Amino acid sequence: MQRNVLGFAAAHAARTSRSPRRRNRAALAAFLSASLGAAGAAHGVIVFGQLDDFENGTAMGWTEGFPTPNPPTNIPSGGPGGAGDNFLQNVSSGGAGAGSHQVMFNQTQWAGNYNAAGVTRITGLMRNLGATNLFMRLAVQGGMLNSNYASSNAIPLPAGSAWTPVTFDLTPSAMTAVIANEPLSDVLSNVLTLRILSAQAGPDFRGDVVAATLGVDNLRALRLQGDANFDGRVNLNDFNVLAANFGTTGTATWQTGDFNFDGNVNLNDFNLLAANFGQVIARPGVSGGDWSALASAVPEPVGGCAALGALAALGTRCRRRYQE
């Protein structure tokens, strides 16, 4: 298909040029242009906040290549929302051959430039529907030199588990190089493949050979919740954004303080910001919920007290609204 498109572009350019040399040059330019266009189209464009909820009845681009006897499959009911909530299921057979590894990958909406999109974290819900313990990790493959990084620490998903919230940070402190041709930041600027896998022994991208059944739903492209202005830290600046938009209903965005994507700015968003207050992406920060960080974020002593007072007042106002 791609070759047909490229061939057509080159042939068309050759037909429409008069001199042979110009024809050749035009054909080459058309070929390169079509090639670049095709290559660009093949790369996904990850979008901050994007959600895989599988409600469209498809596997949303998640696959394990082919042929496989047990590809990721959309299950129409039994997701975290219960009856009627679609989710993605990936069976692995163990043993040998295609489908034996617990791994699946996506090269469409989860490919692209994570740095430009501001995505440093992926959250979701996972469930172990089988009888074998799973050890969940993400792996990103890409960059210019085909490097590969995987979650340093696995999230355990015991056999028969309920739906469990999972958070995978895509930061240097949370990822380990498996194939280290270039820094993680280079890979994140050009992710070709995102993998979800179970690997017990350590960071890997291949997935263990294991007979297992994994359920996945509500995968979200995210960053530290509360970081409204995308500067990598949750502090007074973000709080001020939330405070300025507090009470918005239906039209709010992340950038205006809606950190759970429901269109509203309310106590739920305040709580998400509060839980991460003082934290910094990609390096150790103040532990979550450390309110002393708020005081140090503004000049002492008057500003700090005023800020703390404003925060307390907002919290009170929020609580009052919720009680009404």
- Pairwise CA distance, residues 161 & 37, whole Å: 45
Minimum CB separation of residue 68 from Ca ion in Å reads 6
Binding segment (CB under 5 A) for Ca ion, from list 10-18, 24-32, 109-117, 261-269 = 261-269
Helices and strands, counts by H and E, the chain? 8, 13
* Whole-number Cα distances in Å, 142 to 26, 70, 131: 32, 26, 33
Rule CB under 5 A: say whether 227 interacts with Ca ion: yes
Number of residues that bind Ca ion (CB under 5 A): 18
Cα separation, 32 vs 49, in Å, equals: 34
Spatial neighbors of 310 by CB under 8 A, at least 6 apart, are 243
Asked if 217 interacts with Ca ion (CB under 5 A), we say: yes
Distance CA 198, CA 155 (A): 9
Tokens 């919290």, residue located? 315
- Residue of 34, 51, 62, 90 interacting with Ca ion (CB under 5 A): 90
Q: For Ca ion, which residue of 17, 164, 200, 229 counts as binding (CB under 5 A)? A: 229
| 124 sits near Ca ion (criterion: CB under 5 A) | no
The single residue among 41, 56, 95, 231 that binds Ca ion, judged by CB under 5 A, is 231
Q: Any alpha helices (H) in the chain, and if so which ranges?
A: 2-15, 20-42, 114-117, 184-188, 236-245, 267-276, 292-296, 302-323
**Site for Ca ion, residues 28 to 87, rule: CB under 5 A:** 53-54, 70, 79, 85-86
Binding status of residue 262 toward Ca ion by CB under 5 A? yes
Q: Is residue 258 a contact residue for Ca ion (CB under 5 A)?
A: yes
Residue with Cβ nearer Ca ion (68 or 151): 68
Site residues for Ca ion per CB under 5 A = 53-54, 70, 79, 85-86, 90, 99, 217, 227, 229, 231, 238, 258, 260, 262, 264, 269
